[in-house]
Amino acid sequence: MRALVRLLPLVVLVTGGCAQRSLTITSEPPGALVYLNGPEEIGRTPLRYDFERYGDYEIILRKEGYQTLRTNRNLKAPLYAFPPLDLGAEMIGVRDNRHWHFELTPLDPAPVDAQALIGRAQELKGQLRSTQYTRPAATAPATGE
């Protein structure tokens, strides 16, 4: 019996594992850039992200042709993540897989009035020649003399 008691910690170490926590993030349409809690991109949807902590997350999704989505979500800890149950969960290798799905809204293309656009460009071109940010020409313009 004593030998069994001595082998029990070894058996637990060999057969035990770590809890695995993963978050799957998908979007419609797929291929959006995902940022979690900061400026660093973690990938494109669909993606699997292994997280270490529960709590609030700031999520930003970006895709060309769609409005940038900024939101917050909370990953609530399950009951077995609190002491003393967390020790047992770590030993047996509990898996916690979560899924978040986001719908991106397409950008509304504004109707373009070509004549108004050309007129505005010519107006700005005229302003550019006479602003403090332009440098004088290297040579004087040629005259008709």
> Which uninterrupted H or E stretch holds 61?
strand 55-62
The pLDDT score that the predictor gives to residue 133 is 63
Query: Is residue 82, in this structure, part of any structural domain at all?
Result: yes
The pLDDT score that the predictor gives to residue 5 is 52
Question: CB of 59 within 8 A of CB of 34?
Answer: yes
Task: Give the pLDDT confidence of 68-92 residue by residue, as tens digits.
Answer: 999 999 998 876 666 776 677 677 7
Count how many domains the chain has. Answer: 1
Query: Is residue 116, in this structure, part of any structural domain at all?
Result: no
Query: Is residue 119, in this structure, part of any structural domain at all?
Result: no
* Alpha-carbon span 80 to 54, nearest angstrom: 12
Query: Is residue 68, in this structure, part of any structural domain at all?
Result: yes
Domain of residue 99, CATH code: 2.60.40
**Domain coverage including residue 67:** 9-103
**Averaged pLDDT, 23-38:** 94
Query: Is residue 47, in this structure, part of any structural domain at all?
Result: yes
Query: Is residue 142, in this structure, part of any structural domain at all?
Result: no
Query: How far from 35 is each of 32, 39, 53, 63, 101, CA to CA, in Å?
Result: 10, 6, 16, 12, 14
Structure pTM?
0.60
Residue 60 has pLDDT above 90, yes or no: yes
